[in-house]
Structure 1
Amino acid sequence: MFTHIVLFKLKEATTENLKFVEKTLLSMNGMIKELKQLEVGIDVIKSDRSYDVGIITRFDNKEDYLSYDVNEFHVEKVKKVIGPYMEDSKTLDF
């Protein structure tokens, strides 16, 4: 199992923007064959260290993740759509 985690810091973390980003990320569910598990969460603690939205994705292996990363749906319908909302992001892959 290969796990890809991303934390997103939004430029404006309004309720509307948070829900839009969450919905957009969740739209990948069932649309990308390599993506085996998808979990999205909105931060509830809101500490100085917090990021606003997190996503956990799981794949059978690293190669499947690499295919997902360039998948047309992922790039065109998710990354490009939420990109303008982002201030920063961090990833962890293992």
Structure 2
Amino acid sequence: MIKHIVLFKLKDASTAIVDRTLEVLRELDGKVEQLVDIQVGADIIHSARSYDIALVATFASQEDLNGYQVHPEHLKVIEYMNEVRESSIAVDYEF
């Protein structure tokens, strides 16, 4: 199994933008067959080192993660995220 974790810092972390971004990310659930599980949440601490949104996705294999990266629904999300994100960091690991 593979965990794919991405943290996003948004250009505008207003409630409206955060809520819309959460919705866009959550819409991947059920649309991308490679996803075993997806969890998306907004930061509740709001410290100087915090990112605004976290995405945690689970895949059965590296091949499934690779398929997710080029899936048309994921590519639509990337287009949206390119508009609203200031930065992001990611880690992928086997468990």
For the aligned pair, the TM-score class normalised by the smaller chain equals over 0.9
Partner SS for 2:12: coil
Gap regions ≥5 residues in structure 2: none
1:71 is aligned to 2:57: no
For the 8 Å contact 1:24–1:82, the answer to whether it is kept is no
Shift of 1:43: 0.2
The aligned runs of 1:34-73 (5 Å cut-off) are 34-73=34-73
Shift of 1:82: 2.3
Deviations 1:49-71 (A, max 9, x none): 10000000000011100000000
* Identical residues among aligned pairs (%): 35
Misfit runs of 4+, over 2 Å: none
Q: TM-score, normalised by structure 1?
A: 0.97
Deviations 1:23-60 (A, max 9, x none): 00000000011011000010000011100000000000
Shift of 1:83: 1.5
Q: Distance in 1 between matches of 2:79 and 2:36?
A: 22
1:28: which partner in 2? 28
Output the amino acid matched with 1:26.
Answer: R
Gap regions ≥5 residues in structure 1: none
